[in-house]
Structure formats: C-alpha cells, structure tokens
Structure 1
Amino acid sequence: MEVHFRQAHRGNYRPAMRGQGQIAYLVIHSTAGGGENAESEAVRLAREVASVSVHYLVDERAVWQAVRESDIAWHCGTRRVYFHPYCRNENSLGIALCSRLRDGRYSIPEETVARAAALVRRLMARYAIPADNVLRHYDVTHKTCPTPFVESAAAWQAFQSRLRADEPAPVSCL
C-alpha cells in the first residue's frame, strides 16, 4: 500500500518521539464539511492552523499521512471529559475516512472502507494492537464521529470484522 506524505502545519500537532510501545490504540474518524478527498485534506492541514489533525487520511483512491506516527496528532482530545478510560492522543494514532455528504447524510464509499481496513490491519500488526483497541472517535469522546459508524452499529461491526478476518467482507456505510 502506497502512503503519500504531506506534513501538517506545526500548529496542528505536537512533535514527540513516541516509540512502538507507546502506541496502544487506533482511533477511527470521518471527515466532515466537504472533506471528500484525502490529498486535499492533507494539503489543508499543511496550510492552515486548525488545531486538529490525524495521522492518516483515507479516500477511495489513496492514503495520505499528515503527522508522523512518532508525533502526537490532535484527534481525540476533549476538555477533560473522556468516555474511554485509557485512550488519549498521546497513546493513539488517528485515521480519518473521507466521507460524502448527500441529502444531509454522511456516507463512506466502500472503496474507502476497504482501503482503511487494510491500513488499520497494517498498523495493528506494526504496533501489536488488538482489534478491541481499534475505536471510533465516539468511543473516546462521545462525539458523533465517524458519523456513519456511529449511526449504524452494523456498519461499525462489519468494519471491525474486517480487522479480525483473513478475507474482509464487504461493508456498506449508507
């Protein structure tokens, strides 16, 4: 899997020197507000100070990395109210799936879901992260993100089953 890199603006993450043993969670997000393209989102994070970021952006054609894995992306922080006892920005990687907004509803194309599952499985193997430590942003902060996986428990369960299976099953995020 080819991963393109475009460094996020320094105002969107914290430089660190995290090692392999310090990353224990993968947090899944979806883009909102027109973030349908991974490259354009990576360019935006490089250009603007948004005070937020993710490590990876995934769409149906490509994977873009915006923050090095050793650095801390600002993707699942809160104002001191967490709903997960351990997952924080400091011990996780953030992966955003580019979503589509049509008729007031967000969806994630099947190709994006498949590409994201392949990336997540690769990261799980690299960091020895069990499937139970792959979380939705919602699981950490109760923010409705990734919207399609929060609104449809079946879609989230299907995505998780891809992480546990040798041959991923199709996932529909309508």
Structure 2
Amino acid sequence: MKQAGIFFGSSSGKTAAIASRIQDKMGSDKADLWDVEVSSPEELLGYEVLILGIPTWGIGKVQEDWEHFMSRLEDFDLSGKKVALFGLGDQESYPETFADALGKLYEVLQKTGCSFTGSWPVAGYSFEGSAAVKGGRFVGLVLDEENQPDLTNERLDKWLKDIFTSTPKQNVYHGR
C-alpha cells in the first residue's frame, strides 16, 4: 500500500488535473489517485496521509460527487490520519464565497478525529469572504485556475514541501 491517497471530485476536470499534478510531483509509486465519484470513505483507511481536493461551484456550492462522499464521512473515524486539503475557487467571480467548499469539507472532517496539515496563507488572493479561512489562514491550499493559473505550480511545490516537512515520517515528496 502506498503512503498517500489523493482523493478528488471534479466536474470540469480542473481538480482532477491538479490531483494528477500532485501525484506526478510526489511520484506514482508513493501516492494513489482516487475519484470520489467512484470510491468510498473506506478507501481512506488504507493510507497514512490523505490529500483531498475539492472545487467550489458557483456561489459556495460543494461539487456533486463530494456532496455524496461527505455525507458518508460524517460518522467515520479517521483517527491517526494526517489530512491535507486543497480547493479550487474563482476569487473574481465569487469573492464572497471564495473556496467555500473547502471550508465545508474541513468542517465535516473535524468530526472524524483526523489531524490536519497544510494550511495556507490568505496573502496573494483578493476576496471578501471564505468559509475556508480559519484563524486567518486557509484550511488548505487554495488555487484559482481562472485568475491565477501562473501561480499554481509554485504554490503546489511549496505546499507539498510544507506538508511533508511537517510529517518527516512521510518522506514521499521529492520536488518533481
């Protein structure tokens, strides 16, 4: 079993593409890729590190595959799991609800007993409100492929380095 599981939901393909880039950067020998549309929460149990990717649709809506997956997570025990979150949003079109789905996923996961890693600074974004901000930081990496695609690669590299530096046992990122 690989050390990390990357789980994502994607309607337009953008979150799937980011999940695939993360796997490429880590190495496919270190991380498995799972689409939540065709997987179950039980699959989360097979990994020490979970990387979960969720897009926000329109005015703060959770992507449809994640809606179903999240409803099954509510009574799940993920104690001992290290969870890193990433989300996609559009800060210009939806500045009041930027990356809200990421915050909603975080709220559900808080009840599972997991520990979180990979919070991300809000500096460098222009938005008015986000359910994904807790304690002045995003609960995970936020990417805006509509307005800031040129920053994605640099943000991914820094975030992955931060995640796996904070969990030295999980030496799965090699900066590819």
TM-score by length of 1: 0.29
TM-score by length of 2: 0.29
The structure, 1 or 2, with the larger RCO (C-alpha pairs under 8 Å, 6+ apart) is 1
